[in-house]
A and B are shown apart, each in its own frame.
Chain A
Amino acid sequence: MLPAGASAAAGAAAPRTIAIDERLAADAHLRVGDRLVVRAGVDGPGDTVIVGAIVRRSADPSEVARDEYRVLMHLDELQTLTGYGDRVDRFAVATRDSAATDRAAGLINDDAFGFQAHRSRDIAVETSQTFLVVSRFHRAIGVITVVASAVFLLCIMLLKVDERRRDVAALRLMGISSATVLKSIVLEATLVAGVGSLLGVALGAVISAVVNVHYRGVYRTPLAFSIVTPGVVAFAVALSLVLGMAAGFLAARRLTRVNPLVLFGR
Chain B
Amino acid sequence: MSDSAPVLSARDLRRDYPMGESPVHALRGVSLEVAAGDYVAIVGPSGCGKSTLLNLLGAIDRPTGGTVAIRGEPVERLSDRERTRFRLLHIGFVFQRFYLMPALTAGENVELPLAEAGMSRAERKARARELLTYVGLGARVTHRPTQLSGGEQQRVAIARALANRPALLLCDEPTGELDAHTGAEMIALFERLNADGTTLVVVTHDEDLAAAAKRVVHMRDGGVVSDTRVR
How far in angstroms is the closest Cβ of chain A from B166? 9
Question: Chain B: which residue is nearest A176 at the CB level?
Answer: B116
B61 within 8 A of A: yes
What residues of A have a CB within 8 angstroms of the CB of B97 in the complex?
A: 166
A116 within 8 A of B: no
Within 8 A of A (CB), among B59-103: 60-61, 81, 84-89, 91, 93, 95, 97, 99, 101
Within 8 A of B (CB), among A125-179: 166-167, 169-178
Evaluate whether A177 and B116 lie within 8 angstroms (CB atoms) in the complex, with A261-B60, A266-B51, A266-B55 already known: yes
Contact of A173 with B93 in the complex, beta carbons under 8 Å: yes
What residues of A have a CB within 8 angstroms of the CB of B85 in the complex?
A: 175, 177
Q: Which of B58, B61, B89 counts the most A-chain CB atoms under 10 A from its CB?
A: B61
What's the interface size class on B, roughly?
A: 20 to 34
What residues of A have a CB within 8 angstroms of the CB of B161 in the complex?
A: 174
B32 within 8 A of A: no
Evaluate whether A173 and B58 lie within 8 angstroms (CB atoms) in the complex, with A167-B99, A167-B101, A180-B116 already known: yes
Question: Chain A: which residue is nearest B101 at the CB level?
Answer: A167
A260 within 8 A of B: yes
Chain A binding surface, main DSSP class:
helix
User: In the bound complex, what is the Cα–Cα distance between A178 and B93 (angstroms)?
Assistant: 17
Chain A interface residue count, CB cutoff 8 Å, equals 16
Question: Chain A: which residue is nearest B160 at the CB level?
Answer: A174
Evaluate whether A175 and B55 lie within 8 angstroms (CB atoms) in the complex, with A167-B99, A167-B101 already known: no
Question: Chain A: which residue is nearest B90 at the CB level?
Answer: A175
Contact of B116 with A175 in the complex, beta carbons under 8 Å: yes
Contact of A176 with B88 in the complex, beta carbons under 8 Å: yes
B113 within 8 A of A: yes
Evaluate whether A174 and B88 lie within 8 angstroms (CB atoms) in the complex, with A166-B99, A167-B101 already known: yes
Cβ contacts A229-266/B at 8 Å (1 or 0 each) = 00000000000000000000000000000001100001
How far in angstroms is the closest Cβ of chain B from A257? 11
Contact of B51 with A175 in the complex, beta carbons under 8 Å: no
What residues of A have a CB within 8 angstroms of the CB of B87 in the complex?
A: 173-175
What residues of B have a CB within 8 angstroms of the CB of A169 in the complex?
A: 99
What residues of A have a CB within 8 angstroms of the CB of B61 in the complex?
A: 261
What residues of A have a CB within 8 angstroms of the CB of B84 in the complex?
A: 172, 175-178
What residues of B have a CB within 8 angstroms of the CB of A170 in the complex?
A: 93, 95, 99
User: In the bound complex, what is the Cα–Cα distance between A266 and B86 (angstroms)?
Assistant: 21
Contact of B112 with A174 in the complex, beta carbons under 8 Å: yes
How far in angstroms is the closest Cβ of chain A from B137? 19
Contact of A176 with B113 in the complex, beta carbons under 8 Å: yes
What residues of B have a CB within 8 angstroms of the CB of A171 in the complex?
A: 99, 101, 112
Within 8 A of B (CB), among A38-58: none
Known: A171-B101, A174-B87, A175-B89. 13 other contacts (CB 8 A): A167-B99, A171-B99, A173-B58, A174-B160, A175-B84, A175-B87, A175-B88, A175-B113, A175-B116, A176-B116, A177-B81, A177-B85, A266-B51
User: What is the interface of chain A, defined by CB distance below 8 A to chain B?
Assistant: 166-167, 169-178, 180, 260-261, 266
Of all A-B residue pairs in the complex, the 9 with the closest CB atoms, nearest first, are A175-B88, A170-B99, A175-B87, A176-B116, A173-B93, A175-B84, A177-B84, A174-B113, A174-B93
